[in-house]
Amino acid sequence: MATETGPSTQSEDDQSTLQRWIQRSIRDPQLAYRVTFYTAMIFFLVFTLFPFYWLVVLALTPNHLIVNMGILPGGFNISVFWDVFQQVPIHLYILNSFIIAITTTIIVLLVASLAGYVFGRLQFRGKGPLMLLILIISFFPPAAFILPLFRIFTGNIEILGTTTPDLFNTAGAMIIPFSALMLPLSIFILTTFYAQIPDGLEDAARVEGTTRIGALTRVIMPLSMPGLSTAGILTFIAVYQEFFFSFLMTDGRVENWAPLVWGILNFQGRYSDLYNYMAAASIIGVLPVALLVVIAQEKIVSGLTQGALKE
């Protein structure tokens, strides 16, 4: 009898505790708000900020003390942030990533603006299915394209009797696939914004004698600046921190357009890995993106929310 009533009694106690907490939250909604806030804050601290804190701990701890260290730094070797530039030209790798990300962002915004204008302001047959296809493609995992794109960009595919150019160790081998992968999301964002512009504004510009391209550049794009900023910033960040294509499309030498990820991996040796140098290089490489997000956070949030609410 004791073994049968024990679990039942335990379950009733748990249920009554939960019911009491729910009834108390209904009487005092601020209690539920506080619990939700602290739960979200703990989740944010553990899963978002702790990895960056761990990078700082690794960077400050001398490499021979990393094995036995705890949650606090095992030393304070701040000179590692200068020494990384002596070991590897990490600033040139960052410059490569910056140039590739900026070029890709410009291409994506130019093409996505034209496509967004067509989808957002013109009516044509097949518009719905094409927009749905773009949305589906935007959710494809980039890893699915690695093998075919690698064969194409290394001159191993023959199309209509012509062999594809060998773009390995060039910036084009990364800019072209990055542009293709980021276009669907940017087209969707800009289509949403361009569709919200009143037709009267574009008609007025057309009456003044401007073309559709002129109306796009002089009227629609300036009025859709939050959307353009959001698409550009998201594209820049995604390309700057990309790993798979950047790792495969170059041999890792900085003169061959190897990006930041290769600069960090250069601290891996045959017999030992300089984890403190890798952590310091990662922090230095993250700083430009972190600074960009801090400066543009208002535009990113406003761009995403305006597009979501008005669609």
**Burial label, 83 (beta-carbon count in 10 A; 0-12, 13-18, 19+):** middle
Q: Phi first, then psi: what are they for 247, rounded to 5°? A: -75, -35
pLDDT band for 310, please (50, 70, 90 cuts): very low
Structure tokens at 9: 């009694």
Count of CB atoms situated within 10 Å of the CB of 177: 22
Task: Please give the average per-residue pLDDT across 207-232, as a whole number.
Answer: 85
Of residues 96 and 218, the one with the higher pLDDT is: 96
Task: Please give the average per-residue pLDDT across 273-298, as a whole number.
Answer: 85
State the amino acid at position 109 in one-letter form.
L
Instruction: With a cut of 60, say whether residue 8 has pLDDT above it.
Output: no
Instruction: With a cut of 60, say whether residue 30 has pLDDT above it.
Output: yes
State the amino acid at position 158 in one-letter form.
E
Residue in 264, 287, 261, 262 with CA at minimum distance from that of residue 274: 264
Instruction: With a cut of 60, say whether residue 308 has pLDDT above it.
Output: no
Structure tokens at 163: 């062999």
Instruction: With a cut of 90, say whether residue 109 has pLDDT above it.
Output: yes
Structure tokens at 71: 């949650």
Task: Please give the average per-residue pLDDT across 216-240, as a whole number.
Answer: 87
Looking at residue 229, what is its pLDDT?
Answer: 87
**Burial label, 132 (beta-carbon count in 10 A; 0-12, 13-18, 19+):** exposed
Sign of CA dihedral 44, 47, 52, 53: positive
What is the Cα gyration radius of the chain?
Answer: 26
Task: Please give the average per-residue pLDDT across 96-104, as a whole number.
Answer: 94
d(CA 149, CA 157): 10
- pTM comes to 0.80
Answer whether 182's CB lies under 8 Å from 108's CB. yes
Q: Give the pLDDT confidence of 155-178 residue by residue, as tens digits.
A: 888 877 788 888 888 998 899 989
Of residues 308 and 170, the one with the higher pLDDT is: 170
Structure tokens at 123: 């009516």
Strands (E), the chain: 158-159, 162-163
Computed over every residue of the chain, the mean pLDDT equals: 83
